[in-house]
Each structure stands twice: as structure tokens, then as C-alpha cells.
A and B are shown apart, each in its own frame.
Chain A
């Protein structure tokens, strides 16, 4: 009984947490994109030969991307079109199917990369390369280019 109570209590804490994050979806997605880019730096540094290959660090980066793929789609609700200097383009809301399809390509490529468990630089190139290609899929039509 008390166990159920505690799990209910815990889940309500998590739900509240999620709702809190959801109350500011623009900030939440901006943080998510920063994490995504940091992970890209790790993998990209290895692919460029600036960093030695590290299977654990690569997998951690892939998992970060998976988190993005899972969460990002929900962070562009109606009403979050403007504010916080967002770079989200109006096309996300006028062409949601296209946006979702682009996200889905990213998600599929990330899942495949994780399933492949890359254990060498060549394996990472073969699996993370296709993920990198999908980044542009959203940034081409659904992001406004602003100055940093």
C-alpha cells in the first residue's frame, strides 16, 4: 500500500517536472539542441581525427541524440512560435507533417547507430555519418538563420 503511495507520489513529482519543463518549451528545446550539438562535437571531433576514438563517449553521444529524437517533437506546441529569440521557423506549424518526417529520419538514423554499437572509428563513420546528414533535414526548411 505504502509502496503504491510512494510510486504515485514519485510519478506525480515526475509529471509535475515534465509539466514544468513543458511550461517553457522554447527554453527546453533550446537546451536540448545545445546538448545535441555538444554530442555532435564529440562524434565530429572523432570523425575529423581531432579526438581519439572512444567507444563509450561515442555511445553516450548517440544516447544524447536519441533523447533529442524522442523529446524534440513535443517541444514545438502551438503557442511557442515566438519568444526567447527562437530560431524555429513558422513552417514547423504550417507544415507539421514535413517537420515530423524530417525528425523521423533523424530518429531512425540514431536508432540504427545505437543498435550497431560502433566499436571502431570506421564503424562510427558508417553509422554516425548518416545521422549527421539528417541534421540538415530540419535546419534547411524549419530553422531561421540568425546571427549568434
Chain B
């Protein structure tokens, strides 16, 4: 049994991607910036005390969870303290496989299970954009997790159970609005990480996709955003797009809690991307 467990962990060791599988790509910094907002990178990775027009991604935020305290890392382009030395291959491996350049598993508090759906081209543009941001020269403390979650090797098992880059919801492939919305929501937007409840293994319960979940940060609830009666049944597609743009519900209540930063990121996207997200959310299975 112990041997079998050892072999299983051995088989789930982190691995990188061979660099020859990446497509030839002309970098597009504005696309990288769009994905930076869609992905909400700054919401977690911003330095608290940064005094800059541009985002300073020094990290340091302490995320208190039932598993212990996660500390968000420095992903600024500083070569010593951040990820400036990373190759495109290192970055894509981190985002799609959840593994670090030195061969360690990342904890899924870094939502790579969603980012694994991002295209190589988009990830290359995002890395190019991150490289243009200010350097942050600070090292952050390590995570402080409780047993058994402090054993990183266990994440290999988590990945086998929960890391699946395929689409969650089937959409008509010829409808570019819906497939774009699906890409943004299921991939970079990582909406499911909070709006979908988790199963016993800590992965998303896709049978309850976006149907609302307990608030991982404490009291309250993350709302149902399916077309169900407790979700967006009474909201039009335009209502959802307007909410993402302005922060106002159709009743002129406002966005609150952690969604404020998310909404402000969504407000930076082109209007057609907000419309695509709204169209997708009106199309997914209505759950109560």
C-alpha cells in the first residue's frame, strides 16, 4: 500500500512542457493586457503599498482558508524576486500544468485548473505584457498550511482528479459570441473557482456549474449566476453586461465584497467581451 502510494506520487511528479510545441506567434501586448484584466491577476498579486500607475505585482497578500494561510507570490518581472527570468515555456507550464520551473506543484489556490484552458498564444501575450510591468523587490513568506495539506506531493493526486482543460459546457461551435464567452468565463476569468461549489477532493463540482457556493473567505455566499430562479432568471443579457461594466444590478443595488475588484477588471474589457460573457451565462444550464 505504501509502495503503491509512493509509485502513484512518483507518477504524478510535476513535468514541464517541451518548448517545441509552442506555435510561432507575433506578440500582441494589448491582447496580453486584455487577458491580464480578464484573469484578474492584479486582484491577488498586487502589492498592497504600491504607489504606481501601473500594477505592481509584488504579491504578499495572505489568504486565510480552512487549509491554512496561502501567501500570494511576487510575479513582477524582477529577475531575482519575481518571474522575470522565466521563459515562455516556464510560464505556460505554470499556467496550464500548475508546476513551477524548479519542478514543484503549485497549490490550486492559484487557479491553474481554469487557466489550463487558455491558448498558447494568449499565454504568450500575457507573459509579454507582464514583462512590461514595474519590478517589485520583495520576497514573501511561505504558505503556512496544516497537515496534510502542507505535503506538496499530494497535489499530484489532486491534479489527476481535478485538472481537466476540456470545456465544461457544450456550446454551438459556430457561435463565436458563445464560444468567446465560454473561453473567458471557464478559462482566464476563472469564474467557476468561486461560483461553483467544490467536491470532496477540493475540485469543482461541474454538475453544479456556477450555481453558487459558500464564500471561501468567510461568511455569506457566492451567488448563483446560472439562468436559474435564484440566479439570472430575471436578468437580460444586457443587464449582465451592464453590471460587469458599471457594478449595478437591474435594481440598482451595487456589486459588493470581492466581486468589486472583479467587476472593475471586467469593466476594462472591450464591450463585446462583456456581451460574450453575458450571452454565455444566459445559455448555460439553469440550476436552482
Q: Is B221 within 8 A of A145, CB to CB?
A: yes
If A139-B257, A140-B260 touch, whether A41 touches B251 (CB-CB below 8 Å) is: yes
- Least Cβ–Cβ distance between A125 and chain B, in angstroms: 12
Chain A residues touching B, range: 10 to 19
Q: Is B254 within 8 A of A139, CB to CB?
A: yes
One digit per residue, 1 when the CB lies within 8 angstroms of any chain A CB and 0 when it does not, for chain B 189-229 equals 00000000000000000000000100100011111100000
Smallest CB gap from A141: residue in B: B257
Q: Is B230 within 8 A of A140, CB to CB?
A: no
In the bound complex, how far is the Cα of B264 from the Cα of A136, in angstroms?
10
Please classify the interface of chain B as helix (H, G, I), strand (E, B), loop, or mixed, using the class held by over half of its residues: loop
If A44-B252, A132-B248 touch, whether A143 touches B257 (CB-CB below 8 Å) is: yes
A40 contacts across to B, CB distance below 8 A? 248, 252
Say yes or no for A147: interface residue by CB 8 A criterion. Answer: yes
Q: State the total of A-B contacts with C-beta under 8 angstroms.
A: 51
B252 contacts across to A, CB distance below 8 A? 37, 40-41, 44
Smallest CB gap from B242: residue in A: A48
Say yes or no for A15: interface residue by CB 8 A criterion. Answer: no
Smallest CB gap from B254: residue in A: A135
If A132-B248, A136-B247, A139-B260 touch, whether A147 touches B253 (CB-CB below 8 Å) is: no
Q: Is A145 within 8 A of B254, CB to CB?
A: no
**What is the number of residues of chain B that contact chain A, defined by CB distance less than 8 Å?**
23
- Least Cβ–Cβ distance between B235 and chain A, in angstroms: 12
B257 contacts across to A, CB distance below 8 A? 139-140, 143-145
A48 contacts across to B, CB distance below 8 A? 242
One digit per residue, 1 when the CB lies within 8 angstroms of any chain B CB and 0 when it does not, for chain A 123-148 equals 00000000010011001100111110
Partner of B255 from A89, A139, A144, A147 at Cβ < 8 Å? A139
Smallest CB gap from B230: residue in A: A147
B223 contacts across to A, CB distance below 8 A? 145, 147
- Least Cβ–Cβ distance between A46 and chain B, in angstroms: 11
Can you add 4 more A-B contacts, CB < 8 Å, to A139-B256, A143-B256, A145-B222? A44-B248, A132-B248, A140-B256, A147-B221
Chain B interface residues toward A at CB < 8 A: 212, 215, 219-224, 230, 242, 246-248, 251-257, 259-261
Chain A interface residues toward B at CB < 8 A: 37, 40-41, 44, 48, 89, 132, 135-136, 139-140, 143-147
9 shortest A-B CB distances, which residue pairs?
Answer: A139-B256, A40-B252, A140-B260, A144-B220, A135-B254, A145-B220, A41-B252, A44-B252, A145-B257
